[in-house]
Structure 1
Amino acid sequence: MDWNEAWSKIGTGTKTTRRVSAAGINRVGSVGGRALDAGARLCAPVAERWDAEADRRAKARTPEALKTLMKAQAAYNAARVTERQASAQRRLARSNNTNPFAAARRAAATADRAAAKGRQAARSDLKSARAEYPATLTSVAVRAHAVHSVPAAVATYALSTPLDWATWPLATSVGLVAAHVGTLFLGRRQAVTVVADESMSAEERQLMERLDPSYWVEHAPGRGLGGTVSTPPALEPGGIRCEIRLDGTWTLKSLSDKADSIRALLGARTALRMRITSASRGGWAVLSLATRSAAAHTSSLWTPDRIPADPLTMSLGLDTETGEEVLMPFDERLLISGASGTGKSWSSRPLMAHAHLRGDLVLIDGKGEEANVWEEVCRVAVELEEIEVAIDLAHAEMGRRKRAMKSRRISVWDGRQLTVVIDEGQVVLAAILRDKERLQRLIELSSLGRSRGVVLWWATQYPVTDGSAPGVHKMIAPNLLSRLSLRVAGTTQSQVALDDCAHYAPHQIPTGKEYRGHGYLKGYGPRLIRTWTLDDAGVQALPESFWGPAEA
């Protein structure tokens, strides 16, 4: 029995976390019932440990152990008799002979020492035999209480008079006995966890029940999760959250590797998003189950009203776990990744609209479909000649601003930001890959443009840097520090899409329509974000503004 697990159990048996039914209203609804339930939760660990120790002692009291104990007891008694006899013979030898070197005295002394060692060995064997055949826990408790109850009764009698009883020693002792008995009584009482949220689904009730510590500790070893202990789960706006204590050699990684076992233990459906993260303290993990979304009751449609007051930030979407708005830097280079059908274009549009309204926007669209919506709003480039001209003009603007900054003696551009958006980077790269000069200009846009107010945003379905058709160039990807990833194809794409935050696992985002436009932001944390969306009509309603190069 794991003492840590036993100490952390709440109640006995398989208690269930459930709503109060009509049959349980009288018990749970009363103030006394709630008080007893609260007491049961506090006393359950003590009762569980008591019962575990009592069971251990009962199982150890086998007939074989009893025979060993009786044999050891007999051997010890015989050794004591032999020691007493040897000690008496040694004393007699001393009295009969005053010479300490006499043979009789030396022989008696040797026999006495041998008998003493024999008694010590027999005592050690007896101690081991008693441990193998322990006394019942009840008898141990009775003896322990007798140690303080008898002296307390004597002290009470001695310190009291027939007319004025000073009862505090005996009362204290009786109180300890009553506390012991009451703790065991309450700890063995089955408690009922009341869930007052009537909006909880049947699935959530089942998951809450199985995350209850009593169910978890009882069934976890069968799934290879022995040594982990759950805490009472909480239902939050984004789903169910539960902390898990990691005992022994358990680590966050080893628990994450057991994700399938946890899902089987909870009986959770395969499509349910489950995340295991580190807690705020060592030796603990946090298990999150996305049974609901905190953003479900907020429209995902972006409007200009969502532009933050801070000119250096833009709104990306809502955190599905907390419902909070997620902001990201406006003046930072950005990589947007997402497989076909994940809503990448729809998620990019609000960011592009922000860039259009707060500065200047140039869209280089390798495929052409997105340009159909933006061509009446901002400058777009679709054909190869247009793409080459757009790259050249943006690079030239970067050089012009460098010269202007030098003449004004400033280190950071303080004018309007020019945002260059590459939509389907794989197609654009394939078109200019053999043009080394133009490719170098594009690389320089990603590495040198930010301080000059020329910011590159790169969107691709294929976030890979190797192979014959990379989605982003290997010299450009390291410069794109802000990264948004919707669902991607696999772990290789996840590594490029989120870099050192690839453990967010964007490739594991479900494929259903309800998860279109959902993704992870590098550095924000492994919490899914529902991005804002903007339809065709919303884009076409934006004011027209076509960027053109300024004179040198």
Structure 2
Amino acid sequence: MDWKQAWSSTTNTTTAALDSVSPLCAPFAVRWDLEADRRNKLRTSEHLKALMAAQKEHNAARSTLSTAKSQKLTARAATNNPFAASRRAARVAAKAATAHERDTRSKLKEARVNYPTTLKARAIQVHSMHAVPSAIASALMSTQHLTLWPAATSALLVGANVAGLALGRRKTRVVVDESLSLEERQLLERLDPSYWVEHAPDRGLSGTVTTPPAIEPGGIRCEIRLDGTWTVKTLADKADSIGALIGARTALRMRITSASRKGWAVLTLATRSAAAGVSSLWTPDLIPTDPAMMSLGLDTETGDEVLIPFDERLLVSGASGTGKSWSFRPLIATAHLRGDVVLIDGKGEEANVWEPVLRTAVESGEITDAVDESHAEMTRRKHAMKKRGISVWDGRQLTVVIDEGQVILALIQRDKERLQRLIELSSLGRSRGVVLWWATQYPLTDGSAPGVHKLIAPNLLTRFSLRVAGTTQAQVALDDCAHYAPHQIPEGREYRGHGYLKGYGPRMLRTWTLDDAGVRTLPKSIWAPGPPAPVGEAPAPLRLVKNTDPSGIASNRDKVLGAVQGGSRTAKEVADATGLNKGTVSREIKALVTAGDLHRSADGRLLTGQKAA
């Protein structure tokens, strides 16, 4: 046996156990030391003189009272007349002596408070009050039977008092590596239970106790015990006080969350990043083997890889200069290698890099064509799925990427028909293998220039946000996880590509990046639309086609006219046949009646052609 190693292992285990127990005893030791210090400060020479004078006066008063009581008894024995002069004089003297003794006793009590016994002496007195009688009781009870529990109990109490003080005053030693910075050393010292308990009341944090802090890949982590009425929420509201207590920098990211047990909180200080030593450059090797997932980046606290659904609708938000385009590229590359991509770039710079690799749309006509063709592909797949009797598309995924949604919305917001198609892509496309990804610098749904439409945003369930401008944008960017506070991410190049993922927790992620050279190395695959979807099972009747879009896709008016020619006679039947909403059907019927292509019979049924005069 290696005795040296065994001794080292035992010592380390014992030290770890003592480190875990010390914070529990720290409040007791602090209260003891504060009370002992208070008593020692009161034990001045002036207070001692006052106590001695009070004791002298009290002793004299007691002697006078004893003499008066004796004279009172002598006078009562001398005569039976209660109104005799001797008895009245003795009573008056006894009453005065009693009042004087009571007054000196109160002054003596006050003097003893001003000059108290030391806490150590008081503890000895208290322990003696139960130690001596318990020892005598054990001795008497042991004459018949061996009974030692009174003395053992007394000794246990004495030992508990001494051990509690020793553990509470124990300085916890934190073993750290040599790479520890000066800031981290200071934070570790101030998070030590002995320092925390002593100074916490000055910051309004009385009733909280820390455990020995630890260095982790993402920074400093320690647990805080919450006594009394403290909760994790009330502690989080005191974040500024905690920062002042430990002397943290204003820019240092501090997070307070719930621990694995009730009554405890976890304090995390991001003094370092777990992703610092890992290259952020994306390569195809980072594509997960699971076809339903794709890699977003690394957790800066744990260093773990973070995966998000591949076939889910996505919203990426980030102000200018936060690395949004660079963070978005690895996801687009993943979608390109796994399926088909249509990149609709409102600004055009990003499309310059992707144009040789995949389908892009920059100009107004290209954008409208891309929206129409993507919507037509979604409709075609709907009919194909119906024929095959399946509910989820099992072929290649078509990912429609909107880069800078504000520009795209500004372009088509007056074109209600194409706007409706874009909305339907977000709401109906996922099960048909047509998935919408949306990126914007302005995650707003209201105002004159929204970054994402208010009917599209609720359908984008996966949300990642880099730094945004304010709380309103944070609310849209992360929805019910806006408390992650993406608007508080520090500025600077070192925080480009850093953000929060909705539902993952308030832990910052560092995304993968892909440069221009990496994009150019990807294989070329330009998506083209498939054959148009059939209007119905029966051959469509011959009719005059009007108001056809330049792309060749029938307009809503053509669909309504075709449905009436096919036998539909009411607005409800037309809506069922075309799949359009009732408002659109009513509007188009009115326009066709005005143009003379349709008319209504006497019973309100729709007919083609001019109404007879």
1:350 and 2:333 correspond: no
Q: 1:410 to 1:297 in 2, by over 3 A?
A: same
Contact 2:172 2:192 in 1 (8 A): no
TM-superposed deviation, 1:289: 1.0
Q: How does 1:268-279 map to 2 (within 5 A)?
A: 268-279=248-259
2:260 maps to 280
Distance change (3 Å), C-alpha of 1:353 and 1:148: same
Q: What residue is the counterpart of 2:515 in the other structure?
A: 535
Matches within 5 A, 1:362-377: 362-377=342-357
Looking at CA atoms only, which structure, 1 or 2, has the larger radius of gyration?
2
Instruction: Give the conservation status (yes or no) of the 8 Å contact 2:28–2:165.
Output: no
Aligned to 2:425: 445
Instruction: Give 1:213's aligned amino acid.
Output: P
Q: 1:274 deviation in Å?
A: 1.7
AA matched with 1:48: V
User: How far did 1:153 drift?
Assistant: 4.3
Q: 1:66 to 1:407 in 2, by over 3 A?
A: farther
- Residue 290 (structure 1) aligned with residue 279 (structure 2): no
**For each residue in 1:80-113, what CA deviation from the matched residue of structure 2 results, as whole angstroms up to 9, or x when unmatched?**
x9xxxxxxxxxxxxxxxxxxxxxxxxxxxxxxxx
2:476 corresponds, among 471, 492, 496, to 496
Give how far 1:159 is off: 7.3
Contact 1:44/1:186, CA 8 A, preserved across alignment = no
Match of residue 411 from structure 2: 431
Equivalence for 1:548: 528
Change (3 A) 1:34 1:206: farther
Report the residue type matching 1:222 in the other structure.
D
Q: Which has the higher contact order (CA 8 A, sep 6+)?
A: 1
The aligned residue for residue 48 of structure 1 is 30
Pick one of 310, 326, 331 that aligns with 1:330.
310
Are residue 233 (structure 1) and residue 213 (structure 2) matched? yes
Q: Is the 8 A contact 2:169 2:194 kept in 1?
A: no
For the pair 1:150 / 2:132, whether they are aligned, the reply is yes
Alignment of 1:117-516 (within 5 A): 138=120, 141-154=123-136, 172=152, 175-176=155-156, 179=159, 182-183=162-163, 186-187=166-167, 191=171, 193-516=173-496
Distance verdict in 2 for CA 1:408–1:169, change over 3 Å: closer
Q: Between Structure 1 and Structure 2, how many residues are aligned?
A: 483
Superposed CA deviations along residues 461-483 of structure 1, whole A, max 9, x for unmatched, are 11111111111111111111110
Larger displacement relative to structure 2 (439-448 or 31-40): 31-40
- Determine what percentage of the aligned residue pairs are the same residue: 71
What CA deviation, in whole Å up to 9, does each residue of 1:424-459 have, x standing for no partner? 111111111111101110011011111111000000
* Cα deviations by residue, 1:245-275 (Å, 9 ceiling, x for unpaired): 3344444444333333322222222222222
RMSD: 4.1
CA contact (8 A) 2:371 2:421 kept: yes
Matched residues in 1 for 2:13 and 2:383: separation?
Answer: 76
Aligned counterparts of 2:247 and 2:431: Cα–Cα separation in 1 = 53
Instruction: Quote the offset at 1:314 in angstroms.
Output: 0.4
Q: Offset of 1:226 from its aligned partner? A: 3.4
Deviations 1:473-523 (A, max 9, x none): 111111111101011111111011001000011111111111111111101
Deviation at 1:414, TM superposition (A): 1.0
CA deviation digits over 1:523-552, x for unaligned, max 9? Answer: 111110100111111111111111111114
CA spacing shift, 1:139–1:542, aligned 2, 3 Å: same
CA, structure 1 residues 414+155, in 2 after alignment: closer, same or farther (shift >3 Å)?
A: same
Counterpart of 1:277 in 2: which secondary structure?
strand
Question: CA distance change for structure 1 residues 167 and 182 in 2, over 3 Å: closer, same or farther?
Answer: farther
Unaligned runs of 5+ in 2: 1-7, 67-101, 534-613
Distance 2:183 2:221 in 1: 14
> TM-score when scaled to structure 1?
0.76
Inter-CA distance 136–37: structure 2 relative to 1 (3 Å threshold): farther
Between 266-275 and 207-216, report the one with greater CA deviation: 266-275
Alignment partners' CA distance in 1, 2:396 and 2:164? 73
Question: Is the Cα–Cα contact under 8 Å of residues 275 and 287 in structure 1 kept in the other structure?
Answer: yes
Specify every segment of 5 or more residues in structure 1 that has no aligned partner in the other structure, as ranges: 1-28, 82-121
Tell me the amino acid that sits aligned with residue 32 of structure 2. Answer: W
Shift of the 46–34 alpha-carbon distance from structure 1 to 2, 3 Å rule, reads farther
CA distance in 1, matches of 2:375, 2:453: 17
Change (3 A) 1:455 1:212: same
Contact 2:176 2:215 in 1 (8 A): no
The answer to whether the 8 A contact 1:155-1:169 is kept is no
Aligned partners of 1:152, 1:283: CA distance in 2, in Å?
Answer: 38
One-letter amino acid matched to 1:50: W
Instruction: Summarize the Cα distance change of 1:246–1:317 in structure 2 as closer, same or farther, 3 Å threshold.
Output: same
Amino acid at match of 1:386: E
Q: Which deviates the most, 39-48 or 460-469?
A: 39-48
Greater CA drift, 469-478 or 243-252: 243-252
1:317/1:532 contact within 8 Å kept: yes
Bigger drift between 42-51 and 453-462 goes to 42-51
